[in-house]
Chain A
Amino acid sequence: MKKTVPLWVVLGVVVAAFLFTRLGGNRYIYFAGYFVLQYIVLATAWNVLGGYTGYVNFGTAAFFATGAYTALVLILAFKATLPVQIVAGALTAGLLGLGIGYLTLRLRGVFFSIATLALSVVLQTVVSNWEYVGGGKGLSIIRPKAPALFASHAEYLFVVMVLLAAASVALAWWVQNSRVGRGLAAIRDNEEAAECMGVPTLRLKLFATTLSGCLMGVAGTPFPYYVTLVEPGSVFSLDYAVNSLAMPMIGGTTTWVGPVIGAVLLGTAQQVATVTISSELNLLIVGIVLVAFVMLAPQGIVGLVQRLFHRRSR
């Protein structure tokens, strides 16, 4: 019975979000909400690999962009609908994760990290040279009419993102509590010992990289309709890499809740700060908070809370 609980939760959250959009209200809420939800997906995706196995991925932007550009190509070529784009984006980004993982995961974790960092730069080079998707200048697209039941595209994208976010969190929950999750945790704690105990480390790592890449790609697929101007500079922005890594780090990396807490806190703070202060300054704050957390509270907010409760109960 326990296994079906997340499914019902996901369904409930999506229905609630849909009913919320029927209330109307300020469009900006959906715009800002989308931003935060998108980071819930990215942070959760990053954590499946980074938090559970301890392999640091600096290339979030590359996977995100793979999703976004897959969607863009499908829009340009077939006028594909959003669900088709999401599935296609998930597949391509997952394949990318599998490929890069296969090439570098047999080596020390450091090389994987460096490879992912370089991957963003290279993909950006490729896309900037690809005239069909607008090259370096970018391309603006026109949103089709919003599907029935929705007042506008903003509400539609918001509900889609709620679904994606809830589904990725449920997936992360499932991975964490399954055999796979225990194998991944074993890799994080001591890879050699895990290997000796018969844990299929390479296969598990490849699974985590693929799933992680897949979810990052999914987060990127609604992006073309969200911004309507797709250009390499914004799709490959370093903000994605920093945020998707800072959020789990700040929230706590060992459980599925950590990235969600981190994404909601940092995401909301950034939305507020972008409106009230400048966007560069708030990025600087993210960087400083990240460094402070890695140094002073390595277990993140979840770890801090746990420590607090332990002290109380004693």
Chain B
Amino acid sequence: MFSLDLLLNAIVAGILIGGFYAAVSLGISVSFGLLDIVNIAHPAFVILGSYTAYAMNRFFGFDPLLTGLLFTPVFYALGVVVYRLYYLGFERKGEESLRGLVFFFGVLFIVEVALLLAYGVDYRMIEARYVGQSFHIGVVGIAFRLLLPCLVGLMVTVALHLFLSKTFYGRAIKAVSQDSQALRLMGVDPVKIKRIAFALSIATASLAGALLILIGPVEPSIGREYIGRVFAIVVLGGMGSISGTLAASVILGVVESLTATFSGPSWAPAVSFGILLVVLAVRPAGLFGR
């Protein structure tokens, strides 16, 4: 049963999947980690991204990755709208914690049921030339449908990291998470900065969704599996740390992949919850948190 080939393949697949998980988790790392907005609807936006990619591919023959990139402004606009509602309804009144959570849960539910009404419960997948191909390095097989999402995920991570550390707006976003009052004294509107950051986090969901449907078939309720996963990653990575998020994604990817290989794929969703609980109980600040 146990073999070195299997182990190596599982680890490589896990690392590749980890790169993809980073793409999905970055949005939450920004909204939850930096802005303290518990956007549990994020996975639903990712699924929305997947269905956008599916529809564009189906009807216009667009490449999923191209769609993911092209639709980031649309998702950005969607993020602006959602943040506006959230701000007016909750943040301004200072009751964001309980009702804000319920609000996002409602959004999650609405997106999911709307997709269900539009596309039904069937799994949808995408046809692209490169989806089925793979190559080998020694005994390790690398599938394009895993490699590509991983690379794109890494690119998004690096881009976001550079944006947050090098640009004015990026630094302002980090500042708003530390002390929004001080930011206001510097003449910057914290609400505007938060809006930009939140919209940006939703924009990443467009790309992440395109990657998700490249990896495998998608159905509307699949987003729920990702909630435990992405929050486990964000908490493990130390809230709001981009490099921590990447590291935690790879760790979770490898552990899940090993579980799937050695105890069966149906057990994989339980892994993230186990990790989440252990981290919360033992070290809530996460591996890389301050």
List residues of A whose CB falls within 8 A of some B CB. 50, 54, 56, 58, 103-104, 107, 109-111, 113-115, 117-122, 125-126, 128-129, 136, 238, 241-242, 245-246, 249, 280-281, 283-284, 286-288, 290-291, 294-295, 298
Contact = CB atoms under 8 A, between A and B. Distances in A.
B228 A280 contact: no
List the 3 closest pairs (A to B, CB-CB), nearest first: A118-B228, A291-B106, A295-B89
A296 to B, nearest CB: 8
A119 B101 contact: no
Given A280-B113, A283-B109, A294 B270 contact: no
A122 B273 contact: yes
B224 interface: yes
Interface in B259-290: 264, 266-267, 269-270, 272-274, 276-277, 280-281, 284
A128 B266 contact: yes
B110 interface: yes
Given A238-B109, A238-B224, A242-B105, A121 B273 contact: yes
Interface stretch (B53-61, B91-99, B134-142, B244-252): B91-99
B280 A107 contact: yes
Nearest to A117: B227
B231 to A, nearest CB: 5
A291 B107 contact: yes
Contact of A113 (B38, B85, B99, B269): B38
Interface string B218-245: 0001001101100110010000000000
Contact of B267 (A117, A125, A284, A295): A125
A55 B99 CA distance: 10
Interface residues of B, number: 44
Contacts of A280: 113, 116-117
Which of B105, B225, B228 has the most chain A CB atoms inside 10 A of its CB?
Answer: B105
Which of B38, B89, B103, B106 has the most chain A CB atoms inside 10 A of its CB?
Answer: B106
A115 B218 CA distance: 24
A118 B272 contact: yes
B214 interface: no
12 contacts: A56-B101, A117-B227, A117-B228, A118-B276, A120-B224, A121-B225, A121-B270, A125-B266, A238-B109, A286-B109, A294-B102, A298-B95
B260 to A, nearest CB: 12
B162 to A, nearest CB: 29
Contact of A295 (B97, B98, B103): B103
B114 interface: yes
A290 B102 contact: yes
Interface of B: 38, 40, 85, 88-90, 95, 97-99, 101-103, 105-107, 109-110, 112-114, 116-117, 221, 224-225, 227-228, 231-232, 235, 264, 266-267, 269-270, 272-274, 276-277, 280-281, 284
A207 B79 CA distance: 39
Contacts of A109: 97-98
Given A110-B38, A291-B110, 7 more contacts: A117-B227, A118-B273, A125-B270, A238-B112, A241-B105, A291-B107, A294-B106
| Secondary structure of the A contact surface, majority rule | helix
A122 B228 contact: yes
Given A280-B113, A294-B103, A295-B103, A103 B280 contact: yes
Nearest to B121: A280
A151 B53 CA distance: 55
Nearest to A291: B106
Given A280-B117, A288-B110, A294-B89, A129 B266 contact: yes
A277 to B, nearest CB: 11
Given A110-B38, A129-B267, A118 B117 contact: no
Contacts of A119: 273
A78 B4 CA distance: 45
Nearest to B274: A122
A238 B40 CA distance: 14
B121 to A, nearest CB: 9
A129 B270 CA distance: 11
Nearest to A122: B273
A47 to B, nearest CB: 12
A249 B98 CA distance: 11
B97 A115 contact: no
A36 B65 CA distance: 46
Contacts of A54: 97-98
A284 to B, nearest CB: 4
A118 B99 CA distance: 19
A118 B106 contact: no
B228 A103 contact: no
Contact of A291 (B103, B227, B270): B103
Contacts of A242: 105-106, 109
B117 A281 contact: yes
Which of A56, A114, A128, A295 has the most chain B CB atoms inside 10 A of its CB?
Answer: A114
A120 B225 CA distance: 10
B110 A284 contact: yes
A227 B102 CA distance: 29
Contacts of A245: 102, 105
A115 B114 CA distance: 26
A59 B112 CA distance: 17
A284 B116 CA distance: 10
A61 B96 CA distance: 25
